[in-house]
Amino acid sequence: MNALRKQIDKIKPAFTKGGRFSALESVFDGFETFLFVPNTAAKRRGTHVHDAIDSKRTMSVVIFALLPALLFGMYNVGLQHNTALGIEGSFWSTFFYGFLSVLPQIVVSYAVGLGIEFIIAQIKHEEIQEGFLVTGILIPMIIPVETPLWMMAIATAFAVIFAKEVFGGTGYNVFNVALVTRAFLFFSYPAAMSGDSVWVRLGSTFGLGGEGAAVDGFSGATPLGQIAAAKGMLPDVHNTLGQPLTDLDAFFGFLPGSVGEVSTLAILIGAFILIFTGIGSYKIMVSGVVGAIVMALGFNAIGATAAMQITPLQHLLYGGFAFGIVFMATDPVTAARTETGKWIYGFLIGIMVVFIRVLNAGYAEGMMLAILLLNTFAPLIDYIVVERNTQKRLARLASKAKN
């Protein structure tokens, strides 16, 4: 690392003001601060909090926590492909197929998002903001594997510009940027974001895997999609080959769905990392689960439709609930920031996701809309919590003054 540090210091003057490549100063600064923790601070005095970890290091921990879900999701892409075509594949061939299927989406996401970040940083003569380090990996993990790259590029550009930069950049956005990308895709290109065919990749990638018609009984519908299409009693949920899907299968992640959202087990590993490092709020995670269970039990008591009969456990295992409550709802920029507010914020997300899943027949998932809705109300929740605490303290002071 010392040799790398010396090399960076050697070429740094060329990128500073007056240097040959001064126009790329923001790009160089972003690269340098990604490799090494800056030795400068915002201010020596004032309200700034100084710590050994900066935002780039925080983002790196989040990416590390995302890896279990991402890697399993890649394997599952290959597994669903093989299952649909009746192909027997080794572990590594199955994983490599999924890896090559997802890699282009990751490349496009980072190329478009970071490209816009670099351009804006150069125009504003500011350092490159690091928020997209996490957003860039989240976007491919929450969209169908068959989403065309050009659609994802347009949606990513829209989200970065209109959901982030117009608000002032990293730390100022009101809505989760990755979810805005998914929302843009959902409302602009609904056919590419729903149905049976978008969740299971059937075509070959770079010559790997076979091409051909799906085997008899194939269905790429997600469990929530199957339930939404049912009438009357809750149907038996099936896997890609039409065989009964157990809750244990859903927990491990052997089912159609977005790349990062299928394995609850892998997501729980990421949740442990976020909670252990203090980066993710367990209050939001726990209260979100409680809210979903409470709402699900309420609908179970009515039981008028198939969606109302979904058990609380199935709500937690199916769709993007686990991924959303761990990695999306806990976004420190768009979530509630007061400690009491986090409990309320997470609980309301849990309530809303089940409410949307059950009562909105056109949108079987619900997690995206629930989080975006509560992003809107997060400042209000914090305001009410702060005002309530202020009034309680004023009342205590007034009581002491009287005595």
Q: What digits encode the pLDDT tens for the residues 200-234? A: 888 766 656 556 667 767 777 888 888 888 877 88
Cβ contacts of 290 within 8 Å, gap of 6 or more = 347, 350
Rounded Cα distance, 109 and 160, in Å: 11
What pLDDT sits at residue 30?
A: 58
Q: Which residues pair with 238 in a beta bridge?
A: 244
Rounded Cα distance, 182 and 30, in Å: 27
Residue with tokens 């609908």: 299
Helices 177-188, 367-402: axis angle to 10 degrees equals 140
- Contact, 324 vs 334, CB < 8 A? no
Question: What backbone torsions phi and psi does residue 205 show, to the nearest 5 degrees?
Answer: -130, 120
Question: pLDDT category, 45, cuts 50, 70, 90?
Answer: very low
Is pLDDT of 365 > 70?
A: yes
- Contact, 260 vs 70, CB < 8 A? yes
Question: What backbone torsions phi and psi does residue 238 show, to the nearest 5 degrees?
Answer: -120, 160
What pLDDT sits at residue 44?
A: 46
What pLDDT sits at residue 32?
A: 59
Residue with tokens 């299927």: 101
- Contact, 247 vs 307, CB < 8 A? no
Q: What digits encode the pLDDT tens for the residues 144-202? A: 999 999 999 999 999 999 999 988 888 889 999 999 999 999 999 988 888 777 888 88
Cβ contacts of 11 within 8 Å, gap of 6 or more = none
Tokens of 99: 């890896």
Rounded Cα distance, 112 and 296, in Å: 39
Residue with tokens 């702060």: 386
Rounded Cα distance, 159 and 177, in Å: 6
